[in-house]
Structure 1
């Protein structure tokens, strides 16, 4: 099991968003099913951006920065989650480009001290009419800059 200091890793950059693992998220062996990790990370990511007014309400033409797609998802499972309850998803940006971004994540204990899975996800912002890459808004970029992990 990977154990990391929450002050040095989890809270030195990005945000720690609480998530809940339910009994029915567990597989037949009593472990969090591998497909649930990306789902819980997606829910945390959505919550983070909704706090900043970025949301999809069913209208792609007006979705703005919420009109984006996943280009790549990489995940490494470090230790099993074996019970329901409160956990955390630590989110940050590794790269913020003109039309795309790469965010990093850790699925971890609620306090950020134990890591269960790590990964990255690449998103591309789309123009709703053409479905071609489009630039992030300046408001989105301003929030994104606060989530960037330093190169240190």
Structure 2
């Protein structure tokens, strides 16, 4: 008999990416440090975009869509994370514009049922030579379409 991972609620949009909280991610009170939440979200996005071939290896000229800057970050903390272990980040796109995007996220239990923190981040795609806004590539836009949250 093969062990199967427990199944959580079916996501109607976005992706659930596993992340690991380590002991040294906790603060002096034994809570996940507030600065670690955005870091975990960034790691989840990096893993997701790597699946689509979007990578950054330090060369801005070759970075393409990975050449971008954060314009805004908003995060609300719902319930404290009190122990190390496997969690998840639910990721989706709220808006995909010509040169910018807004993505949403939830830091949650591994099965997606408990939300510990949630928020959004606005990114602007940059031209590596001028650092001015530049359009997303067609490949990036195509990948992003599948991550868009349906309008209510």
Q: TM-score, normalised by structure 2?
A: 0.94
Report the CA distance between 1:57 and its aligned residue. Answer: 1.0
2:96 alignment partner in structure 1: 96
1:6 alignment partner in structure 2: 9
1:86 alignment partner in structure 2: 86
The whole-number CA distance in structure 1 between the counterparts of 2:96 and 2:137 is: 12
Q: Deviations over 1:27-76 (max 9, x none)?
A: 01100000000000000001100000000011110100000010000000
1:112 alignment partner in structure 2: 112
1:58 alignment partner in structure 2: 58
The number of residue pairs the alignment matches comes to: 145
Unaligned runs of 5+ in 1: none
Report the CA distance between 1:6 and its aligned residue. Answer: 2.5
The whole-number CA distance in structure 2 between the counterparts of 1:115 and 1:102 is: 20
Say whether 1:136 aligns with 2:136. yes
Give runs of ≥4 in structure 1 deviating > 3 Å. none
Residue 6 of structure 1 aligns to a residue in which SS? Answer: coil
Report the CA distance between 1:12 and its aligned residue. Answer: 1.1
Residue 146 of structure 2 aligns to a residue in which SS? Answer: helix
RMSD of Structure 2 on Structure 1 (CA): 0.8
2:21 alignment partner in structure 1: 21
1:122 alignment partner in structure 2: 122
Unaligned runs of 5+ in 2: 1-7
The whole-number CA distance in structure 2 between the counterparts of 1:28 and 1:98 is: 43
2:39 alignment partner in structure 1: 39
Say whether 1:73 aligns with 2:73. yes
Q: TM-score, normalised by structure 1?
A: 0.94
